[in-house]
Amino acid sequence: MVEYTLETLVHLYDSLNNQIENIQNDLNELVNFDPYLRDEVKAEIEAARTKTEKRLEKLINIRDKIEYLINKILEAEVNE
């Protein structure tokens, strides 16, 4: 069984939040591409956007699980 300290989980949570914010900023930049680009380039940009959105979803899912663990640890400490 792996044990994590609350400090480690909070650090991981903060790191995930930073990564999520950076990816959201990257996605916003991918939206504003030149409409006169060749179709091949547009397709590559859309593929990159799709891949980035999937990564974002995974990071949000992981962050939510970390948040759940943090809350459980805090509840356990309060109930002791």
> Within 13 Å of residue 12, how many CA atoms lie on the same side as its CB?
17
Could you tell me the pLDDT band of residue 80, with boundaries at 50, 70 and 90?
confident
Domain membership of residue 52 as a residue range: 6-79
Domain count, the chain: 1
Q: What is the pLDDT of residue 2?
A: 61
Q: Taking Cα atoms as reference points, which of 2, 5, 24 lies closest to residue 13?
A: 5
Q: What is the pLDDT of residues 21-31, one digit of tens each?
A: 999 998 888 77
In a domain, 1, yes or no: no
In a domain, 21, yes or no: yes
Residue 34 CA from chain centroid, whole number: 27
In a domain, 27, yes or no: yes
In a domain, 44, yes or no: yes
Q: What is the pLDDT of residues 30-53, one digit of tens each?
A: 776 677 778 888 888 889 889 999
